[in-house]
C-alpha cells in the first residue's frame, strides 16, 4: 500500500503492506497516504490487525485518518481494531494525538483501537498466522517482522542498516520485503539506519530467501540503484516494489486496480 521512503514519491505513499488471504487481513505499517491506497483494495472495517514496526511518522501517521474513518465512517465496526505498537509506541502515539484530541488523547485512540504493545522477544498470533520480530539497526528502536501461515512466510525488514538479525529472521522466507533507501553511491556517516539495494541483496542471499522485493526508496532511485545493485549479490528473483503491487506466493507479481480481485497490465 506504500513503497516510498520518508518523502513520498509523486502519486505514491509511504511504508505500508497488506497481507491478505481468505481468513486474515493484516497491515504492517501505515505511513503517509497509505490509508487511501488501502481503501482501494479492502474494507478497513474488516481488518484483523495492524502492526507498526517503529515510531517514525512515515510508518504510522495514517493511523490518524484510519481512526476518523473507524469512528465516523458510514459503517461502524462491531469490535475494536487490534493495534500492535512497538515498546514505548503507545506513549508516543498518545503524546502526538494529545495536541489535538480531548482528554490527553486516550479516548481518541481507544474508542476504536484495541491498543497493545508487542513483546519483540515473543511471537504474536493473528488469526491462523504467527508473527515473530527482530530488532533492526536504525536510529530509533525498530523491529523487522516475519509472518508465517500454513508453511508460507513473508519477512519485512522495516527500516534497517545491514544486520545479521534480519538475515536470521528472513531465513528461507518465500518473500523478503527489504528496504532500499540508499542510492548506490550514498554513504551513511556515523550511526547507520538504512540499506542500499546491494546490501539488501547481500542479506537476501545470506538468508536464502526465494524472492526479494525492494521497497522504501526515493524518487531519485534508478534501476542502477535498485534491481541492478541487488543482483550483484542476490541470485534469485528481484522485484522493485510499487504501490498497489500484489505478490502471490509462488506467482508473478501483479499491479492491482480497484480491488484484490481486479488486475491491470504491469505497465498500467
Tens-digit pLDDT profile for residues 117-135: 999 999 999 999 999 999 9
DSSP string, 139-152: SS--EEEEEEETTE
Check: CB of residue 179 under 8 Å from CB of residue 157: yes
- How confident is the model at residue 112, as a pLDDT? 94
Whether 126 and 113 map to the same domain: the answer is no
- How confident is the model at residue 266, as a pLDDT? 33
Whether 114 and 132 map to the same domain: the answer is no
Check: CB of residue 201 under 8 Å from CB of residue 232: yes
Q: pLDDT tens digits for 162-208?
A: 999 999 999 999 999 999 999 988 989 899 999 999 999 999 999 99
Whether 150 and 213 map to the same domain: the answer is yes
Final residue before a domain boundary, out of 93, 118, 143:
118
- How confident is the model at residue 264, as a pLDDT? 36
- How confident is the model at residue 218, as a pLDDT? 96
- How confident is the model at residue 104, as a pLDDT? 46
- How confident is the model at residue 261, as a pLDDT? 39
Higher pLDDT, 92 or 21: 92
- Count of domains in the chain? 2
First to last CA, the chain: 16
Q: pLDDT tens digits for 48-92?
A: 999 999 999 999 999 999 999 999 988 877 899 999 999 999 999
Cell triple for 13: 505513499
CA 81 to chain centre: 18
Could you list the beta-strand ranges (E) of the chain.
16-20, 25-30, 49-51, 81-85, 113-117, 124-126, 129-135, 143-149, 152-156, 175-179, 211-215, 237-240, 245-246, 254-255
Q: Which domain holds residue 171?
A: 122-241
Cell triple for 10: 509523486
Confidence tier at 102 by pLDDT (50, 70, 90): low
Q: What is the mean pLDDT of the chain?
A: 91
The answer to the question of residue 32 being in a domain is yes
Cell triple for 214: 525492494
Cell triple for 68: 476518523
The answer to the question of residue 91 being in a domain is yes
Whether 109 and 134 map to the same domain: the answer is no
- Answer left, alpha or beta for residue 67, where phi above 0 means left and psi between -120 and 50 means alpha: alpha
Amino acid at each position: 500500500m506504500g513503497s516510498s521512503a520518508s518523502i513520498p514519491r509523486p502519486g505514491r505513499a509511504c511504508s505500508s503492506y497488506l497481507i491478505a488471504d481468505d481468513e486474515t487481513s493484516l497491515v504492517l505499517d501505515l505511513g503517509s497516504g497509505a490509508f487511501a491506497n488501502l481503501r482501494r483494495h479492502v474494507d478497513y472495517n474488516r481488518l484483523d490487525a495492524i502492526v507498526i514496526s517503529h515510531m517514525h511518522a512515515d510508518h504510522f501517521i495514517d493511523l490518524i485518518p484510519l481512526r476518523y474513518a473507524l469512528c465516523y465512517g458510514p459503517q461502524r465496526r462491531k469490535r475494536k481494531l487490534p493495534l500492535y505498537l512497538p515498546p514505548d509506541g503507545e506513549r508516543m502515539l498518545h503524546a502526538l494525538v494529545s495536541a489535538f484530541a480531548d482528554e490527553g488523547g486516550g479516548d481518541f485512540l481507544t474508542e476504536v483501537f484495541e491498543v497493545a504493545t508487542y513483546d519483540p522477544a515473543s511471537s504474536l498470533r493473528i488469526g491462523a498466522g504467527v508473527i515473530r520480530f527482530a530488532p533492526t539497526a536504525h536510529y530509533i528502536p525498530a523491529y523487522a517482522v516475519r509472518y508465517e501461515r500454513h508453511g508460507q512466510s513473508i519477512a519485512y525488514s522495516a527500516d534497517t542498516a545491514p544486520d545479521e538479525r534480519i538475515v536470521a529472521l528472513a531465513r528461507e522466507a518465500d518473500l523478503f520485503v527489504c528496504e532500499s533507501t540508499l542510492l548506490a553511491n550514498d554513504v551513511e556517516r556515523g550511526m547507520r539506519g538504512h540499506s542500499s539495494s546491494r546490501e539488501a541483496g547481500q542479506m537476501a542471499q545470506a538468508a536464502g530467501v526465494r524472492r526479494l522485493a525492494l521497497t522504501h526508496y526515493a524518487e531519485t532511485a534508478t534501476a542502477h540503484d535498485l534491481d541492478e545493485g541487488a543482483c550483484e549479490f542476490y541470485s534469485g528473483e528481484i522485484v522493485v516494489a510499487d504501490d498497489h503491487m500484489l505478490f502471490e506466493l509462488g506467482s508473478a507479481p501483479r499491479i492491482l486496480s480497484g480491488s484484490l480481485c481486479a488486475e491491470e497490465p504491469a505497465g498500467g
